[in-house]
A = this chain, B = another copy of it.
Amino acid sequence: MVLIFPLLICFTLHVIHAEYSFETKYLDVPIDHFSYLHNTTFKLRYLLNGHYHVKGGPAFVYTGNEGDINMFAQNTGFLFDIAPTFNALIVFIEHRYYGESLPFGNLSLSSPEHLRYLTTSQALADFVHIIDHLKNTYFSTTIGNDTLPFIAFGGSYGGMLAAWLRMKYPHSVLGAIASSAPIWFFGDIVPCEKFYAIITEVFEKFGGEHCTSIVKASWSVLRNVTSSSKGKDYLSSAWNLCSTLKTSSDTDKLIDWVSDIYVNMAMTNYHYPTDFITPLPAYSVKLFCDKLTSLNASDSKSLLENLSDALTIYTNYTGKNKCNNINSTSDDLGERAWNYQTCTELIMPMCSTDKDMFENSAWDMKKHSETCQASYGAVVSRPTWAIQEYGGKNLRYFSNIVFSNGLDDPWSCGGVLGNISSKVWAVNITDGAHHVDLRGSHPADTRYVKDARKFHVNAIKKWLGVF
């Protein structure tokens, strides 16, 4: 079972198909916004598209999340779809410690001392810094103190940041569209079993109980088969793993790898083929379950072989994958930085019970801290920080935020699913996956997705005073 959380948006080193074009820019920002000890800066990357910008139009600012900013820029077509209507400048700002925005270059993730500036507070201050720069560069002659038409957008962790940016710096951005932002996934606000329960529901909805019962049964079969060296060799071959399983820790990794695939399939169970985390067909959960349930399993081995076969929907949709690397993301820069964040201030308690299709696992804060200590050296976990800093459920005094959630997205359990006030709204997308509303429009779009996007456009018009 995963000990460190799945990435909100997992990403691989998958080559990005660049549909949207940008100028790549860099700005020197302070490494530490919150002390006056040093004046050291680093180059924060941001992407700029001024194609639709007409003087007087606003700026749409995507608050980057846990990965290379190009990936988000290529998967947030919604901004491009609506930019012409608003004459908007489009900006994607990279999050510090991800992509190219490394405060200490290759050393950035190497020690607690280097990692100390990886916090949401510093990231928000970066965004404000860049926005101030853009304001002076592109808007100085057209806006006053009172009219700063910057709208924040973000999906997933980026959605949390977009909301928090508006909450903490309402003078910097006029409003925020926060898609699939699980800002309540902290402390004891959300029951820890909800996340895996939703994934199980999605697999049941698209694959029926037969599918989830096979998955549920598979864990002990996997454990049993891999309990011997012979079994490890067998499974490594049958599952076409890139390297042979050797230890019980390798088995744990395999289990995590499979679990993460189910998480990712539920998150990205989009209604048309996508190329986001990995190339996937439409409704991959359905295809996976259809395949799994269509194959007859007479014994443990055939169950595992069927499972491996069905998993190819995710692992090898293009047919180009030579073998399955269960460590594929472990050396990935983004993942190490993200896990640091989930160890320190973004601690999201998750657990798995008999009621879901995953291997059982209790939430254990002590164990979580110990794993974090082992991975990062002396690092402090503050499980209630995010609530103390960002208000927990008490959001009634904030304004101009739309929280949207796809109800099939497991992260929705930590999201804001109901209106908070006349100024903080929620939009729920029936059958929707992870931040589906921020994707570009598609012929297969459901009316639920279309309605959510209309809601966003109207909210932005209202905030900008454009009726």
Contacts and interface: CB of A to CB of B under 8 A. Distances in A.
Interface of A: 34-39, 112-113, 115-117, 119, 121-122, 125, 128-129, 132, 145-146, 148, 168-171, 343-345, 378-382, 388-389, 391-400
Nearest to A341: B36
Contact of A381 (B36, B38, B171, B389): B36
B381 A145 contact: no
Nearest to A397: B170
A41 to B, nearest CB: 11
Q: Which of A171, A343, A382 has the most CB of B within 10 A?
A: A171
Assembly of this chain: how many copies? 2
B397 A35 contact: no
A396 B465 CA distance: 15
Contacts of A132: 388
Contacts of A381: 36
A119 B388 contact: no
B171 A392 contact: yes
A40 to B, nearest CB: 9
A162 to B, nearest CB: 15
A148 B392 CA distance: 13
Contacts of A344: 36
Contact of A34 (B34, B169, B379): B34
A101 B48 CA distance: 46
A426 to B, nearest CB: 16
A343 B35 CA distance: 12
A154 to B, nearest CB: 19
Contacts of A112: 36-37
Contacts of A122: 34
A340 to B, nearest CB: 8
28 contacts: A34-B122, A35-B119, A36-B112, A36-B115, A36-B116, A36-B119, A36-B379, A37-B112, A37-B113, A37-B116, A37-B378, A37-B379, A38-B378, A39-B380, A121-B121, A125-B389, A128-B388, A128-B389, A145-B392, A146-B396, A148-B394, A169-B391, A170-B397, A170-B398, A171-B391, A171-B395, A397-B399, A397-B400
A84 to B, nearest CB: 28
B379 A119 contact: no
Contacts of A38: 378, 380
A380 B88 CA distance: 36
A170 B424 CA distance: 14
A37 to B, nearest CB: 5
A121 B457 CA distance: 35
Contacts of A395: 171
Nearest to A340: B36
A169 B37 CA distance: 26
A345 B121 contact: no
Q: Which of A34, A117, A119, A400 has the most CB of B within 10 A?
A: A34
A142 to B, nearest CB: 16
